[in-house]
Amino acid sequence: MKRAELFHPRVFNDKEWAEGYYKRNAKNITRVGKRLAAVLKRAGFEGGKIFDSGCGFGAVAIELARTFPEAEIIGVDLGLPLLDLGRSLAEQAGVGDQITLLEGDVQKLDYAADSFDLVVNSFMAHIVEDPVTMFNEIERVTKPDGRIMITDLRRIWLGVFIKKLKTPYTLDEGKSVISKSNIRPGKCLKGPFWWDYMAGID
């Protein structure tokens, strides 16, 4: 099945669209946050400075904050309505003091090299114009002994019926995009509807 063009904007700056996106996806993305947090816990991660590259409405950041109460989390996104929503959700979850959500371009980060112990990137690979540049920036801001967690939807045959599963990369395509970047060695995994790339996580 050929990859389809995005059916939504790359940047969710329309408030109505952003709120609809949240309502449709909040439960699923929260589950992703719980899954990533569980993987980190098993790998012995205890906290530190975490960066959420393309944080959206902050669901992953919130789950990481709940699991690692000593962590300091910064997230960036270009969707201003999503950031506003994420700040409100973080306060409601009682982790607003741990999380800072800011306007920022994942393809051009305003952070020094080697700044973060962990960088997470969720559902962005198929949305940004230049995923290779985004991955290079992720690598740049991650500490040499830091960890990287990338996850995205995976294009599968169900895309015939579910529109959002027709626009992402297949696992092999995701591997190909990763291989063109400077990102450190890691492992690719796949789930029923997603693929992961994880580095520094055994």
Percentage with pLDDT > 90 across the chain: 80
**Pair 71, 94: CB distance under 8 Å:** no
| DSSP bridge partners of 73 | 50, 99
Distance between CA 49 and CA 18 in Å, rounded?
27
Average pLDDT, the chain: 92
Distance between CA 131 and CA 83 in Å, rounded?
21
User: Which structure tokens are listed for 62?
Assistant: 């919130």
Average pLDDT of span 160-181: 84
| DSSP bridge partners of 148 | 119, 199
Give 46's pLDDT tier (boundaries 50, 70, 90).
Answer: very high
| DSSP bridge partners of 74 | 51, 100
Domains of the chain: 15-199 (3.40.50.150)
| Chain segment 112-157, per-residue pLDDT in tens | 999 999 999 999 999 999 999 999 999 999 999 999 999 999 987 5
Q: Which ranges of 107-195 would DSSP assign to H, the alpha helix?
A: 131-141, 171-179
Distance between CA 153 and CA 99 in Å, rounded?
25
pLDDT of residue 157: 59
Please check the confidence at residue 165 and state whether its pLDDT lies above 90: no
| Chain segment 8-32, per-residue pLDDT in tens | 778 888 889 889 989 998 999 999 9
Identify the three-state secondary structure at position 124.
coil
Sequence length of the chain is 202
pLDDT of residue 17: 84
pLDDT of residue 4: 61
**Pair 140, 128: CB distance under 8 Å:** no
Distance between CA 68 and CA 66 in Å, rounded?
6
User: Which structure tokens are listed for 73?
Assistant: 């989390």
Distance between CA 198 and CA 174 in Å, rounded?
12
Give 1's pLDDT tier (boundaries 50, 70, 90).
Answer: confident
Pairing mode, if any, of strands 72-77 and 49-53? parallel
pLDDT of residue 5: 76
pLDDT of residue 162: 65
Please check the confidence at residue 79 and state whether its pLDDT lies above 90: yes
Q: Which of 29, 9, 13, 18 is nearest to 103 (CA)?
A: 13
